[in-house]
């Protein structure tokens, strides 16, 4: 779709806004009233965050880094991958430039070369902004009459900040920028006078109304712009164990101005997994499900989960378990599909695979129907995402539990044909999922993809993910763990024969809620393998424990999982297991054991 057609489509979509705002309150923000989606087509975005990281690491953003990734993006396009936008993420700006000038010496000549090369290759530039908070930014003189008393954020309904900010957005739009990300919003920000005379709820409402009105006017003037909301616009992102509905509810009126709402950067959920990267998948799956339950259409949710990179923000992930993560991100149905990070890690062969998967799911997003089914991921219930069109259907399913599990694949539309026969299109290594009619059995912690109809053809076979290995068998091992000190539990059992021993520790607050420990990010954060300790002793000798959570995790962790290899165990001989948390606050620990066979 060319830019002129896109602009007309956007304009048509937002003609409905006055009618929406005039409707009765109980009807005003329904899924149908808001429209799903607002974009004329699904889009594919590249964002360079996690190639660099100036929050949980100290890797700076530079022009050389940004142009290198643009070259890599163009290499992937030659393999058939689709990219519509390239977003310059956080901290491109001079701290004293009011978002008008770029940081020197990292950008000695500003962004012109980057913008020009994007445009020459059919890529639309995008920019990140910290909304109304001062993150790596100083208050410009024209913003100071909007500052809160802490000097950390600006009111958006008082003083000169918001008018100047909107002029800045227009300035960059006029320079070719077509996508804007709004992060770190503080809707409680107010001047000292307003803080003294208004309630917190009144301040939030006035900030929200002011920003919504300003963005609605900006959209009306620039109908082809894409606007996305990140942190600060509602929801809970720290964990997967929070109560629902959200304590910080999502105001669905934001969907009148934003094309998409983000629901959290990749982080471990509170569901323990032997493969660390799988728990990041479960976190993002859970967030998509909860935001959908809160009234946000799937098409309008950005799960921000496919983030391969070398920096602390992604826990030095590089390119591990990337295929399953990509499939899940695309299968969730969001119409803003963002790839982050070090594209040079993707070989030409990887790029071909990426392009095939992307093409399949962008097709389903555009012309098909995407639905969620099954249980709640953060509650350790088997779940999935399904997509259907007139030619067939594809299902992506996950079992987050520590046992084998079956899940039925539901019909996704009234005209869909019965699900038989089907074909397994993708899976983790190890246990081979068993597909029987419309039911599939998965191993512990496993994901798989199944096709029906047209999508059983060899062209849709995406192979086996070799860097995630699922046990072929698993069974619980009885053990009684007892507290032997602050943050320490211990059990002694006869070492079971016939498999590896999986150890699981989970941490709780005294009130029984799951408790995460935050030990910081690079370069000064503590490795979680030193915070949560899994120790095994037999015959007076400490045994090696295989771990995957032993990394610096800025987002916190509430569990530890490890395995003792069968070759290191003496069957039926007493084995003492000691689990410890060095969390300073009072916590309760629980331990579980499983015998697994690979």
Mind listing the pLDDT tens digit for each residue in 90-138? 999 999 999 999 999 999 999 999 999 999 999 999 999 999 999 999 9
Confidence of residue 19 (pLDDT cuts 50, 70, 90): very low
Q: What is the pLDDT of residue 506?
A: 98
Do the beta carbons of residue 309 and residue 250 sit within 8 Å? no
- Statement to judge: residues 504 and 451 lie in one domain: no
Q: Domain of 427: which CATH number?
A: 2.60.40.1180
- Statement to judge: residues 448 and 360 lie in one domain: no
Q: What is the pLDDT of residue 2?
A: 39
- Statement to judge: residues 430 and 552 lie in one domain: no
How far apart CA 17 and CA 19 sit, in angstroms, is 5
Asked which of 318, 352, 367 is the last residue of a domain, the reply is: 367
Asked which of 344, 367, 390 is the last residue of a domain, the reply is: 367
Full DSSP string of 195-260? HHHS-HHHHHHHHHHHHHHHHHHHHHHSTT-EEEE-TTSSS--S-S-S-SS-SS---GGGGGT-SE
Mind listing the pLDDT tens digit for each residue in 256-277? 999 999 999 999 999 999 999 9
Q: Please say if the pLDDT value at position 16 is more than 80.
A: no
Residue 253 neighbours by CB distance under 10 Å: 16
- Statement to judge: residues 90 and 135 lie in one domain: yes
CA distances (Å), 133 to each of 92, 109, 203, in order?
15, 26, 15
- Statement to judge: residues 326 and 390 lie in one domain: no
- Statement to judge: residues 311 and 405 lie in one domain: no
- Statement to judge: residues 301 and 165 lie in one domain: yes
- The rounded percent of the chain whose pLDDT value lies above 90 is 91
- Statement to judge: residues 306 and 222 lie in one domain: yes
Q: Domain of 519: which CATH number?
A: 2.60.120
How far apart CA 93 and CA 574 sit, in angstroms, is 61
**402-439 b/e with 16+ CB inside 10 Å = b?**
bebbebebeebeeebeebeebbbbbbbebbbbebeebe
Q: Please say if the pLDDT value at position 412 is more than 50.
A: yes
State the average pLDDT over residues 61-74: 98
Range of the domain at 44: 3-367
Confidence of residue 417 (pLDDT cuts 50, 70, 90): confident
Q: What is the pLDDT of residue 379?
A: 97
pTM of the model: 0.94
Give the number of domains in the chain. 3
Q: What is the pLDDT of residue 26?
A: 37
Confidence of residue 419 (pLDDT cuts 50, 70, 90): confident
CA distances (Å), 199 to each of 155, 195, 250, 266, in order?
14, 7, 19, 34
State the average pLDDT over residues 3-25: 37
Q: In the predicted model, what is the mean pLDDT of the chain? A: 93
- Statement to judge: residues 143 and 100 lie in one domain: yes
- Statement to judge: residues 447 and 543 lie in one domain: no
Q: Domain of 205: which CATH number?
A: 3.20.20.70
Residue carrying the six token digits 């072929």:
472
Mind listing the pLDDT tens digit for each residue in 345-394? 999 999 999 999 999 999 999 987 899 999 999 999 999 999 999 999 99
- Statement to judge: residues 510 and 401 lie in one domain: no
Nearest to 378 by CA among 237, 224, 568, 210: 237
Q: Please say if the pLDDT value at position 15 is more than 70.
A: no
Q: Please say if the pLDDT value at position 22 is more than 90.
A: no
35 versus 174: the higher-pLDDT residue is: 174
Asked which of 367, 384, 411 is the last residue of a domain, the reply is: 367
- Statement to judge: residues 459 and 578 lie in one domain: no
Mind listing the pLDDT tens digit for each residue in 30-56? 555 565 678 999 999 999 999 999 999
Mind listing the pLDDT tens digit for each residue in 184-213? 999 999 999 999 999 999 999 999 999 999
Q: What is the pLDDT of residue 20?
A: 37
């Amino acid at each position: 779709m060319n830019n002129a057609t896109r602009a007309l489509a956007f304009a048509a979509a937002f003609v409905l806004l006055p009618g929406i705002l005039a409707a009765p309150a109980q009807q005003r923000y329904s899924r149908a009233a808001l429209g799903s989606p607002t974009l004329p087509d699904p889009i594919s975005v590249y964002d360079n965050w996690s190639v660099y990281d100036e929050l949980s690491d100290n890797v700076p953003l530079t022009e050389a880094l940004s142009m290198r990734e643009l070259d890599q993006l163009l290499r992937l396009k030659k393999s058939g991958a689709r990219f519509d936008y390239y977003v310059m993420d956080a901290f491109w700006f001079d701290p004293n430039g009011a978002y008008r000038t770029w940081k020197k010496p990292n950008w000695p000549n500003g962004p012109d070369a980057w913008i020009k090369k994007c445009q020459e290759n059919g890529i639309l530039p995008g920019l990140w902004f910290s909304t109304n908070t001062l993150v790596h930014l100083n208050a410009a003189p024209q913003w100071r009459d909007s500052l809160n008393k802490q000097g950390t954020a600006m009111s958006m309904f008082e003083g000169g900040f918001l008018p100047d900010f909107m002029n800045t957005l227009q300035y960059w739009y006029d320079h070719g920028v077509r996508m804007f990300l709004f992060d770190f919003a503080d809707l409680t920000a107010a001047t000292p006078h307003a803080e003294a005379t208004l309630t917190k709820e009144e301040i939030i409402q006035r900030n929200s109304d002011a920003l919504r009105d300003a963005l609605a006017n900006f959209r009306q003037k620039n109908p082809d712009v894409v606007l996305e909301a990140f942190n600060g616009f509602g929801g809970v992102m720290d964990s997967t164990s929070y109560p629902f509905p959200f304590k910080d509810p999502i105001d669905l009126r934001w969907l009148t101005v934003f094309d998409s709402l983000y629901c959290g950067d990749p982080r471990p959920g509170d569901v323990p997994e032997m493969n660390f990267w799988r728990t990041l998948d479960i976190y993002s799956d859970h967030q998509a499900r909860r935001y959908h339950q809160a009234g946000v259409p799937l098409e309008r949710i950005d799960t921000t989960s496919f983030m391969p990179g070398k920096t602390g923000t992604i826990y030095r992930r590089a390119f591990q378990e990337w295929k399953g993560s990509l499939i899940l991100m695309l299968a969730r149905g969001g119409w803003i599909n963002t790839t982050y990070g070090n594209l040079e890690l993707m070989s030409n062969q990887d790029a071909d695979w990426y392009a095939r998967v992307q093409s399949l799911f962008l097709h389903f997003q555009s012309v098909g129907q995407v639905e969620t089914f099954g249980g709640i991921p953060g509650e350790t219930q088997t779940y999935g995402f399904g997509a259907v069109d007139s030619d067939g259907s594809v299902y992506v399913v996950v079992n987050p539990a520590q046992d084998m599990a079956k899940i039925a694949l539901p019909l996704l539309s009234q005209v869909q044909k019965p699900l038989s026969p089907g074909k397994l299109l993708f899976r983790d290594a190890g246990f081979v999922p068993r597909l029987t009619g419309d039911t599939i059995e998965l191993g512990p912690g496993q994901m798989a993809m199944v096709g029906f109809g047209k999508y059983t053809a060899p062209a849709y076979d995406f192979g086996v993910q070799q860097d995630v290995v699922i046990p072929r068998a698993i069974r619980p091992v009885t053990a009684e763990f007892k507290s032997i000190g602050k943050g320490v539990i211990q059990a002694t059992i006869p070492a079971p024969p016939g498999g590896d021993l999986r150890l699981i520790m989970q941490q709780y607050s005294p009130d029984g809620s799951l408790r995460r420990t935050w030990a910081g990010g690079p370069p000064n954060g503590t490795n979680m393998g030193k915070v949560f300790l899994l120790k095994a002793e037999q015959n007076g000798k400490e045994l090696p424990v295989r771990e995957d959570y032993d990394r610096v995790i800025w987002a916190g962790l509430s569990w530890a999982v490890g395995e003792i290899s069968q070759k290191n165990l003496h069957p039926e001989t007493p084995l003492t297991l000691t689990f410890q948390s060095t969390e300073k606050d009072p916590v309760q620990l629980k331990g579980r054991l499983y015998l697994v066979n690979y």
